[in-house]
Structure 1
Amino acid sequence: MVSKLSAFWKARKAPAYTRMSTQDHDERPRTNRSSFEESLHRFDQRRFTPWPNFSVEDGFKPQTDDTISTAGLFYPTRSPTQSNPGFFRKCKLMCTKFPVRDMSYLVGVSFTIGSAVFVVNGFFLLLPLIAPSTNFSTETPYATPASSVIGTLIFLVGSWVAVLEALNLDRGEPIVTEGIPLESSTESIFKKGDEESIQIKIRDHSTDSSSSQASETSIKKPTPQFQSSNTLSSNIQSNIPVSPAPQPAMLGSPTFIYFPSTYQLTNTYLRSIIFHASVIQLIGAIIFAFATITSIPNVVDLTNTTLLHYLNLLPATLGGVLFLVAALLQILNSHTLLSQPWTFWRKWDWWVGLWNAIGSLGFLLAGLLPWVANGAAWGTLQGTLADFWGSWAFLIGSLVQWWGVMGGYS
């Protein structure tokens, strides 16, 4: 009896198994599977939008011109040759490209800002003389000397940058054109008094019998060879690639220098008109700074005629004279670089020198006329007017230089 009860209890606890029908494991179940796009449309066509039609390689494509990047704004690549994009294109580049490594660009921008500050200073000096009602309490003791000091400091910085521009004007790195490195230094091509060029020999691989060996050979760097001017012109006419105009060295590049060596100074820079002009302009800015310092209230007693003449008006006059000499050298340099001497007015750096010369003349008369008038009212008025229109001339010249530099970019 006990054995029957235990067997019944075990049968009750055991799991119930269902016998499944035998299947042929060699045959796979036949199902109708739709594509992923059809499934999306079957679920809800409105809820899911179609995937964009692009490949993985599209994500690694370089940025187009429409994409604005920091490198494109502040570190644009300078063109190997002067592209001359046009007047309005250059104006647009002035607002969209900021090549902070280019010394020519920094010179134009710094002198533009400094000239604008001097224009404001000219208003502060001139308005109390022609319209006393416009004078305010803080104009003479604070606004006028502050604007003068700020403008002078910016002019000092711009003059030093102009020296760096002259030092690195032709020290650009070699330019690669169609895989052929070309020298871009004036120490090797187009030196004054030398008829020198670079002869580039291009091997015609199509006539080579062993084309496989020719493809493995490397192109050697061309070496300067003396040629006559007729040979150089024939090379240009026959479309043989020659070195473009020398490029300036950019700030931070291996070829950029702050101070020249003795050999470089005696053999290269002392023969450069631009270097002489920049150094003279820097000296003029330093001397002009003395006049700015002495014009600050309570620094020098300007009621003393002797102190006024020799500590204020004399440095202002000498600074204007040196500015004028530097501007005339700029005009001379732009004129001699032209092959056609009567088309100098087409060159933008000639206009820069002209407007700088006019501005320098205004700064010169600003210190000279009050000295000649010996305190007369007409001398003070005419000197202030000369300072005003001289500041405007410097501003125009600086804007033209800024505009012209942008022709090297695209």
Structure 2
Amino acid sequence: MTRRTVHAAFGAAVALVLLAGAVPAQAATGTLRPQLEAITAAGMPGVFAQAADGRRRESAAAGVADVTTGAPTTPGMRHRVGSITKTFTATVLLQLVGEGRLRLDAPIGRYLPDHAAAGVTVRMLLNHTSGIADYDHVIFATDASLEENRHRTFAPAELAAIGLQQPRTGEPGAAWAYSNTNYVLAGMILERITGRTVAHEIDKRIIRPLDLRHTYLPGTAIRIRGPHAAAYIPWYGGVLLDFADYNMSWAWAAGELVSTTGDLNTFYRALLTGRLLRPALLAQMQTTVPWVPGAPEYGGYGLGLYSNLLSCGLVWGHDGLVLGHSAISWHTADGRRQVTVAQNMTHYVAPGQPDPITDATIAMLNTQLCGEQPATARAAVRPHLADQAILR
């Protein structure tokens, strides 16, 4: 594997998959395990997933959770799911909008006077059009900083200040530019309005009502509760360093969540079928900024939720990547067809290099959501999953 420098920004690296010809989805019964084995055969140490079609759920795993002991991955493992946290954070904020306690188009200075940014609204934070820069390339400026920050606690205000002090990526509302600073500020707004922590509100409003028994925000606790895989990054000398134990305060409301593939499927089905948000608020969440300027039919980023074009049409969800753990959770618009996949190695390929792991992952996602595709289907744009930034 190619050693990749890790101090790239951990901004969005969403897979944009454009396939020729939309065809009806057909069930892909019994295909999950062989497709996960194709991912491990391509070089991923361990992978596990859950696919769903209505009430039918299929869970499977392949490869190893620990390369030293050879312990296998299992479908129900806990996993750091990175920026999938953003969908949870945005959902709570939209619930506050529904309660009349927050306005999407209010300037953020109304809620955070000490962190005001001229022209930036709450909506711009949630759809990444604020122009506020990311903080990650500062706190992870070198490979050594990954170890140096393993036990460090970052305060949200500290992360926000770092991002606000960096050169802007653009004018407010002008263009989409992924920045985790946006969701740190969003989390601070959530706490200012409710008087409670982000973890408390997500637990009260989402985790407990949906009975997501293996989902939580760990705060400064470095160890993942329950069974989990190692979190590998290829290091110098061909070794794999394990980053599973980590103080995730650096990600907070932008990417701190621990969950399982089953819990995430439950969450996104509840979200897309209206259990968590009224129709008007879900419509706001699904109002997107296009990935491809002038071509909204290919999908785009909404309020903590994105759409992506597959061969059978648009799917909805989010992906996440932190140090050594990555996850993708995609769903049809009605929440019926679902797939969530988790992998235990990141930052394994240099930009522009062949990436058979991503190719096999995209093939699995497309088959599970769209069924077997005709030979005429082809990728018109290379997926961006290989652009593995620190937190996505």
TM-score band w.r.t. shorter chain: under 0.3
**Structure with more of its chain in strand, by fraction:** 2
* Structure with more contact order per residue of length (Cα contacts < 8 Å, sep ≥ 6): 2
User: Greater CA radius of gyration, 1 or 2?
Assistant: 1
